[in-house]
Amino acid sequence: MRPLVPLALAGVCLGAPAARAENHFLAELGGGLASPLDAGEETDFGPGLGLTLGVGGRLKGLTPAWYLVGRLGYADATAHGPARFGGATLERSAWELALGGRMYLPLVSRLRLVTEVAYGQVWETSTVARAQHPTLQLEASPSVLIALLGLQYRLTDTLALGGAADLGWYLTGSETRDLGATAAGLPAGDETRGRLRFVVTATAHF
Residue 1 has pLDDT above 50, yes or no: no
**pTM: predicted TM-score of the whole model, two decimal places:** 0.82
Residue 60 has pLDDT above 90, yes or no: no
Lowest mean pLDDT among 4-18, 89-103, 179-193: 4-18
Residue 73 has pLDDT above 60, yes or no: yes
Cα separations in angstroms, 120 against 52, 76, 85, 98, 153: 13, 18, 34, 4, 28
| Radius of gyration, alpha carbons of the chain | 20
- At residue 20 the predicted structure's pLDDT band, cuts being 50, 70 and 90, is low
* Percent of the chain surpassing pLDDT 70: 85
Residue 96 has pLDDT above 70, yes or no: yes
**What pLDDT is attached to residue 2?**
44
Tell me the average pLDDT across 176-182.
81
Tell me the average pLDDT across 184-196.
77
Residue 3 has pLDDT above 80, yes or no: no
Specify the CATH class of 34-189 in words.
mainly beta
Domain boundaries, the chain: 34-189
Q: Are 97 and 124 in contact (CB under 8 A)?
A: no
Cα–Cα distance, 51 to 13 (Å, whole number): 27
Residue 32 has pLDDT above 90, yes or no: yes
Query: Is the pLDDT higher at 152 or at 82?
Result: 152
Cα–Cα distance, 121 to 105 (Å, whole number): 28
How long, in residues, is the chain?
206
Q: What is the mean pLDDT of the chain?
A: 85
Residue 158 has pLDDT above 80, yes or no: yes
